[in-house]
Amino acid sequence: DQQVKQNSPSLSVQEGRISILNCDYTNSMFDYFLWYKKYPAEGPTFLISISSIKDKNEDGRFTVFLNKSAKHLSLHIVPSQPGDSAVYFCAARDSGTYKYIFGTGTRLKVLA
């Protein structure tokens, strides 16, 4: 039973355009959300996070949006660069256990 779902296994975007990665969750106890980026043969690295009390957090080219009523968050990358090509994992923290639940990942390919 996946509590955090990334329904798009892959996404291709042209360089310079916007990349939008989506994540849905089912547990209303989640209070903190993160995005991690993973290159081949490396571990995931933290990218950006958002608290459940906010609806937007921006860091340079990366913006995360949270829609609590829809239990949906998205990561926007603008403009997309070839170096952004990686697997992106969405993660959510359970406010009761403080455990992080990860999604299955979305592979982003930015085409030059």
How far apart are CB 62 and another protein at their closest, in Å?
15
CB nearer to another protein: pick between 16 and 96:
96
HEC sequence for the chain: CCCEECCCCEEEEECCCCEEEEEEECCCCEEEEEEEEECCCCCCEEEEEEECCCCEEEECCEEEEEECCCCEEEEEECCCCHHHCEEEEEEEEECCCCCEEECCCEEEEEEC
Which residue from 70, 83, 98, 112 is in contact with another protein, where contact means CB under 8 A?
98
How far apart are CB 112 and another protein at their closest, in Å?
27
Which residue from 25, 30, 44, 80 is in contact with another protein, where contact means CB under 8 A?
44
Maximum C-alpha span of the chain: 44
Q: Check residue 34 for interaction with another protein (CB under 8 A).
A: yes
Which residue from 86, 89, 92, 108 is in contact with another protein, where contact means CB under 8 A?
89
**Which residues bind to another protein, rule: CB under 8 A?**
2, 4, 6, 34, 36, 41-46, 49, 89, 91, 93, 97-105
